[in-house]
Amino acid sequence: MVGRAASIPEQFNIAQYFVERSLDEGRGDVVAVFYREHRLTYRRTWELVNRAANALERGGVQRLDRVLLLLHDSPAFAAAFLGAIKLGAVPVPANTLLLPEDYEFMLRDSGARSLVVERGLLQKVGPALAKLSGGQGRWGDLETVYVAGQLVGSGTTVEYPGGSERVNEPGYKSFDEEVDLSLPEAAAAPTHRDDPAFWLYTSGSTGRPKAAIHRHRDMVYCLEHYAGQVLGITAADRTYSTSKLFFAYGLGNALYFPFGVGASTVLVPERPTPDTVLEVLRRYEPTLFFAVPAVYAALLQTPGLRCGDFGSVRCAVSAGEALPAPLWERFRERFGVSILDGIGSTEMLHMFISNRPDDIVPGTSGKLVPGYAARIVDEQGCEVPDGQMGELQIRGESAAAGYWNRPELTPATFRGEWTVTGDKYVRDEHGYFRHCGRTDDMLKVSGLWVSPLEVEAALMAHPAVVECAVVGATDADGLTKPKAFVALRNPPTDPAAMAAELCDFLRERLPAYKVPRWLIPVERLPRTATGKIQRFKLRREH
C-alpha cells in the first residue's frame, strides 16, 4: 500500500480501486462485510456494487449527477455509495437522525437526481418530498426515489410486509429489486483523480448544512497516511465503528479503510448503545474499534462489560471531540485498552493529528499524521510560537475541493493550501497538540481566555462526575463567567454539598477565574448524532 497515494494515475475511479482490486489480488473469497447473520465476500460485494451502478444508470443517473443516500450502515449503503461512484455520479450520504426540513434543504441544495432511502426512514423524508412536489406530482430536480430494504448480496431480495405499496407509486422503485435485476458486471467511468467523487454535509457552527466536495483521490490519501502509517491496518484486521457511515469519521473506519487493504468490516444499523456494542464485541471480535468520547463514557457506566470483552481489540480510536485524560485513564484501568485520541474533520475527510499506539499522551490529540502540515495562528493570521494558543490550520492532499454552492464560505475555510479548522490549539515543544476548544466556544473571563476543555478535564477527574460541559454565561453585572453542566454517577443526597465539594476540588486545580460560577446538575448532555456536545443548546436553554 505504501506509495500508492503519491502515484495515483490521472484516470482513476475510487470504487474500482477499493473493490475490484481485492479480486485482482486474490481476495475474492475473503469476507468484506459482516452484517447480522450475513457474510459478504469481496466477490459478492463487487457484484453488488456493479449491480447498483447498473441499476442507477438504468434509472437515468448520469455522470456527476448527485444521489442522496439516507441509509443505515448496511450492504445497501456500500452498494449505493460505491455503485454511484463507479458510475461517475456523486453520492451524498445524509445523517439519518435529521428532521424532514433538513432533508428538504439537502435535496434542494444538492439538486439530487435520485434518492436511495431506507424503507424505515420513508416517513422522515416523506414530508420533504411533499414540499418539493408542491402537490404537482414532481419533486423538482429529483426524479426517482429508490426504497431499500436489507440488501445483502447479489441475487438476494428481502421482502418486507406491507412494503410494496409505496414502491408501486409513480417515481418510486425498489432498490433491492432494481439491483437484483441488474447485471453483475459494470465498467468503471473514466473519471479523473481530481473529479468530484462524493459530498459530505457538515453543519459546523455556521447554521445551515454545507456540502464538502471530496475527490476520487482523497480516500486513498487518508488510507495510506492515517490508516496505514498510524493504525497499521492490514488484511488481518476486522473493523467496527460506532460512528456511522454518513459521518466522515465512520466512512473511513467502516468502509474505505478495511476495503482498501482487504480487511473485514462489521456494519451495524442500530444505534451504538452499550448493549449493542457489547454484542458486537462478543460476536464479531473486532481488532480495530472506533468511537467518540460519549460512547467510551457510556461503556464505563455499563456493569455488564468485562475487561475480556475488549480482548480482540488491538487498537481503540477516539475522535469527534477531545477525549479527557481522566476518561482515558479510567478506560485503560478497567479494560486494559489505551485509546488513541485524534482530530479530523469533514473538510479534511479523516484524521490529521493523532496519538500513536507506541506514543500516547493522554489529554492531547497527539502529533501530526504523516503527510500533513499544521500551523497555529493568532487573530491576525500570524503564526504563534510553541506553547501559545491560536487557531489551528491544516495542509494536506485530502482537503475538500470546497463547499458546494457556498461562495462566501469556501474562501473563508480553504485559504490556498491551508484549511481553517475553527479549533483552538496549543502545540508544545515536543510536537504534541492540545485541543483548547472550538474558536466560538472560547470564553473571555476577567480579560483572560478560558478553554472549556481545560475546565471540563478538571471536573472529569472527580470520581463522581460521568460527563460535563462548560459554557459562558453572564452574571448580574453582565460579565462572562464559566457555567458547568454536570452529570453525576449517582444522584447526590445533598446537591448543595456536592456542588461545594466540586468547587473546592476545582480550586485546587484551576486558577480562581476558571472555576465555574454555576454548577448545574443534568441527567445527560445534549449531543449531535456524531456525539459532539451541543453547547449552543446549553447556552440557550439554561
Show the 3-state SS of 295-353.
Answer: HHHHHHCCCCCCHHHHCCCCEEEECCCCCCHHHHHHHHHHHCCCEEEEEECCCCCCEEE
pLDDT digits (tens, 9 = 90+) for 135-183: 666 788 999 999 998 676 544 443 433 444 455 566 899 999 999 999 9
Q: What average pLDDT does this structure show over 337-360?
A: 97
Q: Write down the pLDDT at residue 230.
A: 98
| Close Cβ partners of 534 (under 8 Å, ≥ 6 residues apart) | 525, 526, 527, 528
> Is the sign of the CA dihedral 180, 248, 62, 15 positive or negative?
negative
Q: Write down the pLDDT at residue 322.
A: 87
| Close Cβ partners of 381 (under 8 Å, ≥ 6 residues apart) | none
Could you confirm whether domain 216-400+411-439 is CATH 3.10.20.30? no
Mean pLDDT is lowest, of 330-334, 338-342, 538-542, for 538-542
CATH architecture of the region 442-541: 2-Layer Sandwich (3.30)
Q: Write down the pLDDT at residue 170.
A: 67
Every domain of the chain with CATH number 3.40.50.980 lies at 5-212
User: Could you tell me the CA-to-CA distances from 482 to 159, 215, 385, 470 in Å, in that order?
Assistant: 55, 42, 27, 6
Q: Write down the pLDDT at residue 162.
A: 40
The C-alpha cell at 32 is 468484506
The C-alpha cell at 467 is 460527563
Q: Write down the pLDDT at residue 212.
A: 98
E strands present in 43-181: 66-70, 90-93, 114-118, 144-148, 172-174
Q: Which of 320, 336, 323 is nearest to 363 (CA)?
A: 323
Q: Write down the pLDDT at residue 236.
A: 97
Taking the C-alpha atoms of residue 164 and residue 155, their distance in angstroms, rounded to an integer, is 19
pTM: 0.86
Taking the C-alpha atoms of residue 147 and residue 167, their distance in angstroms, rounded to an integer, is 7
User: Could you tell me the CA-to-CA distances from 377 to 344, 370, 411, 420 in Å, in that order?
Assistant: 18, 21, 17, 10
Select 5-212's CATH number: 3.50.50.60, 2.40.160.20, 3.40.50.980, 3.40.50.1000.
3.40.50.980
Q: Which of 91, 79, 82 is nearest to 153 (CA)?
A: 79
Taking the C-alpha atoms of residue 355 and residue 369, their distance in angstroms, rounded to an integer, is 9
Residues in the chain: 542
Q: What average pLDDT does this structure show over 380-384?
A: 95
| Close Cβ partners of 16 (under 8 Å, ≥ 6 residues apart) | 86, 188
Q: Is 68 left (phi over 0), alpha (psi -120 to 50) or beta?
A: beta
Is 208's pLDDT higher than 90?
no
Q: Write down the pLDDT at residue 513.
A: 86
Q: Write down the pLDDT at residue 18.
A: 92
Mean pLDDT is lowest, of 36-50, 60-74, 244-258, 449-463, for 449-463
pLDDT digits (tens, 9 = 90+) for 105-148: 999 999 999 999 999 999 999 999 999 987 666 788 999 999 99
The proportion of the chain whose per-residue pLDDT surpasses 70, expressed as a percent, equals 93
Assess contact for 148 and 119: CB atoms under 8 A.
yes
Q: What average pLDDT does this structure show over 247-259?
A: 97
Residue 319 identity: A
Mean pLDDT is lowest, of 193-207, 382-396, 400-414, 516-530, for 193-207
What b-and-e string marks burial along 92-101, b requiring 16 or more CB atoms within 10 Å of the CB?
A: bbbbbebebe
Neighbouring-strand partners of residue 459: none
- Tell me the pLDDT of the chain averaged across its residues: 91
Mean pLDDT is lowest, of 3-12, 269-278, 405-414, for 3-12
pLDDT band (50, 70, 90) for residue 228: very high
Residue 296 identity: Y
Q: Higher model confidence: residue 413 or residue 445?
A: 413
Q: Write down the pLDDT at residue 267.
A: 98
The C-alpha cell at 187 is 465498467
Q: What average pLDDT does this structure show over 414-438?
A: 94
Is 87's pLDDT higher than 70?
yes
Which spans in 134-174 are helix H? 164-167
Residue 408 identity: E
pLDDT band (50, 70, 90) for residue 542: low
What b-and-e string marks burial along 458-475, b requiring 16 or more CB atoms within 10 Å of the CB?
A: bbbbbeebbbbbbbbbee
Q: What average pLDDT does this structure show over 277-303?
A: 94
Q: Write down the pLDDT at residue 478.
A: 74
Q: Write down the pLDDT at residue 160.
A: 39
Q: Write down the pLDDT at residue 33.
A: 98
pLDDT digits (tens, 9 = 90+) for 307-316: 899 999 999 9
Q: Write down the pLDDT at residue 177.
A: 95
Q: Higher model confidence: residue 386 or residue 19?
A: 386
Q: Write down the pLDDT at residue 317.
A: 98
| Close Cβ partners of 326 (under 8 Å, ≥ 6 residues apart) | 457, 460, 461
Residue 318 identity: S
Residue 306 identity: R
Mean pLDDT is lowest, of 100-104, 155-159, 416-420, for 155-159
Every domain of the chain with CATH number 3.40.50.12780 lies at 216-400+411-439
The proportion of the chain whose per-residue pLDDT surpasses 90, expressed as a percent, equals 76
Is 250's pLDDT higher than 90?
yes
Q: Write down the pLDDT at residue 432.
A: 98
The C-alpha cell at 432 is 504534541
Taking the C-alpha atoms of residue 530 and residue 292, their distance in angstroms, rounded to an integer, is 8
Every domain of the chain with CATH number 3.30.300.30 lies at 442-541
Q: What average pLDDT does this structure show over 348-375?
A: 98
